[in-house]
Structure 1
Amino acid sequence: MEIQLVLPEESQAEDLALQRNDREVVRYTGDPKYPYTKEDALADIRSFLEEENKSRVTRTILADGRPIGIVYFYLPWRGQKSVELGYWIGKQYWGQGISTYAAKQLCDFAFRTLDINRICASALEVNVGSWRVMEKLGMRREGTFIKAIYQDGEFFNDLYYAVLREEYSME
């Protein structure tokens, strides 16, 4: 399977909506919007493009040319030297190393092109796949925020991870 990261395009909206319109995917995105429609995807893509290189950098993850998810980071704010990474992919692509590959590409890009010292990310404790991605990137768990996220009538612990420039491997 060939994995590519490309700038989001409006033509990707239908495929991205199909991938994200799944309760399990939505549960882990931090945005509980469900159902997630083509119109929602179009609005998100337009927002990503408006924010590109201003407050965030976003890429669509393609698998064999088909949009399957999103990877992004928020740009440093007010002189900070840290960015926050995020990602999601369609459920049928979980467990194949795709999120790790996409996140690694974006982390490499961030450390190569930005004057930053740190990349951080978070995941619900129940989202083992996501925090395993962070560990594969060389991130260390910095903390657990107990019952920090409230979704679907339930509280969840949120795990925080980070890696410093001097700890990160570009290999």
Structure 2
Amino acid sequence: MKEAVPMVLELGYWHLTDSHIITNILDHVDHTYMGETIPYPYPEIIAHWWLQSVQKKEGENGIYRIVIVDGQQVGHICVTKKEEDPTIGEIQYCLMENFQNHGIMTKACKQICKIAFEQLDITKIMGRVYRANVASCRVLEKNHFQCCQEASIRIYIKHKDG
């Protein structure tokens, strides 16, 4: 029997020249729970605009990362400060379908929460997830987020000291 080879997971920085990467990622995710704000197919012109926005906000208003597994860009994850309360960060993420159910996003979530609490002046991180998106709910639960609102969209909270 072959032994499983551990994967190498990194969170990389986005660059202005990465529009083809975010376009590829967003064209290969399950759009069921993405909402209407992410078009499919994802136009490269929107990707370029988004990357310009990320460059302006990185480090001050948010942490934006490419999820890289064994050298391949497979997802996106970010924590952004809420405009109405900048002490709260909001986590969002997506992962290409071929890479789901391998614990990748759970590990990426753990890493980005640590970075966000260290670099952003926030006291908690919230995540909004469709109740039917069981895998995404589990990502947050495995990272010690507590469900604080139960409806069609669940709201999870993780405190800096918790």
TM-score (norm 1): 0.79
Q: How does 1:132-147 map to 2 (within 5 A)?
A: 132-145=138-151
TM-fit CA distance, 1:73:
0.9
TM-fit CA distance, 1:48:
1.3
Q: Which of 26, 29, 33 pairs up with 2:34? A: 29
Cα pair 1:19 1:91 within 8 Å, conserved: no
TM-fit CA distance, 1:125:
1.3
The amino acid of 2:126's aligned partner reads C
2:102 and 2:50 map into 1 onto residues whose CA distance is: 25
Q: Which of 125, 149, 156 pairs up with 1:161? A: 156
TM-fit CA distance, 1:131:
0.7
1:115 and 1:54 map into 2 onto residues whose CA distance is: 9
Q: Indicate the RMSD between aligned Cα atoms, in angstroms.
A: 2.0
Does the residue aligned with 1:126 lie in a helix, a strand or coil? coil
For 1:46, the equivalent position in structure 2 comes to 52
Q: How does 1:109-148 map to 2 (within 5 A)?
A: 109-145=115-151
The amino acid of 2:23's aligned partner reads A
TM-score (norm 2): 0.83
Does the residue aligned with 1:110 lie in a helix, a strand or coil? helix
The amino acid of 1:66's aligned partner reads Q
Q: Which moved more, 1:51-60 or 1:120-129?
A: 51-60
Determine if the alignment matches structure 1 residue 74 to structure 2 residue 80: yes
Q: Closer, same or farther in 2 for the Cα pair 1:55/1:111, shift >3 Å?
A: closer
Calculate percent identity across the aligned residue pairs: 24
Q: Which has the higher strand share?
A: 1
TM-fit CA distance, 1:76:
5.2
Determine if the alignment matches structure 1 residue 10 to structure 2 residue 16: yes
TM-fit CA distance, 1:138:
0.4
For 1:148, the equivalent position in structure 2 comes to none
TM-fit CA distance, 1:144:
2.4
Cα pair 2:61 2:120 within 8 Å, conserved: no
2:44 and 2:73 map into 1 onto residues whose CA distance is: 13
2:85 and 2:44 map into 1 onto residues whose CA distance is: 36
- Number of equivalent positions: 155
